[in-house]
Amino acid sequence: MGFKCGIVGLPNVGKSTLFNALTATAAAQAANYPFCTIEPNVGEVAVPDPRLDVLAKLAKSNDIIPTRLAFVDIAGLVRGASKGEGLGNQFLANIREVDAIVHVVRCFDDGDITHVEGRIDPVADIETIETELMLADLDSLEKRVVAAEKKAKGGDKEAKELFDLMSRALVLLREGKPARLVELKPEDEKPFRLLGLLSSKPVLYVCNVEEAAAGTGNAYSKAVEARAAEEGAVAVVISAQIEAEIAILPNEERADYLAAIGLDEPGLNRLIRAGYQLLDLVTFFTVGPKEARAWTITRGTKAPQAAGVIHTDFERGFIRSETIAFDDYVTYAGEAGARDAGRLRLEGKEYVVADGDVLHFRFAT
């Protein structure tokens, strides 16, 4: 089960530098001119989770395997992208393929790095990108809604529901509001996702600040945080340049480097965790002497489907799961202690897996 966050933004805001740091590679070319990234680059990163180390120590696991999150570096959008300006159509298609948007915003002054709009105004940059996504959605829906309306009037129940969702999205888009503000019932969520609307995707803002502001932010980043708060989004402050420098350091030198600049952890850790939360993901663990491993599922996933993330046979033949909450596993020093204390539970097909559960699945072959 793969989850992808697309890194977007105007040209020269630090997207590729951030991507390189995330993946600890130079796979994405970072250069001081627009469109240096033409094909989307994809990199997977481990999701930092100290619980995994605790479990591995208790179980004396030989290997530790974290869960992972994919980031896609998408080339810079420009004003008019929805009409094909720059390489707009291609870039918008790349955004359509991701689950969430990580919107990198320039929050630093540097006369040596050109800004495609000729000024530093992060809130205006956000509005430029948001407008292009909304215009692309508006164009897409207006092309489809007439046919959907005809089917709905013909008595097709599914078409009627789809037409209703389209109409509600169109009302917002025509008011200049993103489609993610459409209020949905649980049963509407899947068909709404299938509409493929760019502005319906959850957004995380990354404020790329100068090195001196990495720990505190600056006036630009505070403006972005205020904007994010207004729309119920999250903003993370990061210096992409610092993160790129940390990424190439040996592990044993990173802590000293962070301490020297007044940071407790790399900003990328906060970004990865924020992306994970943005997608409403949770983690469960499988633990044994061979390996301690973290697995990713969406919140609300039931035990058989969680088992299927490991192997499809586990889901098909699911009988029940032996379940220990993380805190119980730690408190009673492992599986045997939790079992003896009566803290190991047998859960069936309707059990909704909780974040931090340590699971062992029983299944019929």
Q: Which residues are annotated as a binding site for ATP?
A: 12-17
The contacts of residue 155 (CB under 8 Å, 6+ apart) are: none
The contacts of residue 249 (CB under 8 Å, 6+ apart) are: 257
Single out the residue of 115, 273, 114, 289 nearest to residue 206, CA to CA: 273
Between CA 198 and CA 99 the distance in angstroms is 10
Between CA 138 and CA 182 the distance in angstroms is 14
Single out the residue of 159, 182, 169 nearest to residue 138, CA to CA: 169
DSSP 8-state symbol, 353: P
Using CA atoms, how far residue 211 sits from 120, 207, 257, in Å, is: 17, 12, 13
Residue showing tokens 């633990």:
287
Q: How many CB atoms lie within 10 A of CB 56?
A: 20
Q: Which amino acid is at 331?
A: T
Between CA 225 and CA 221 the distance in angstroms is 6
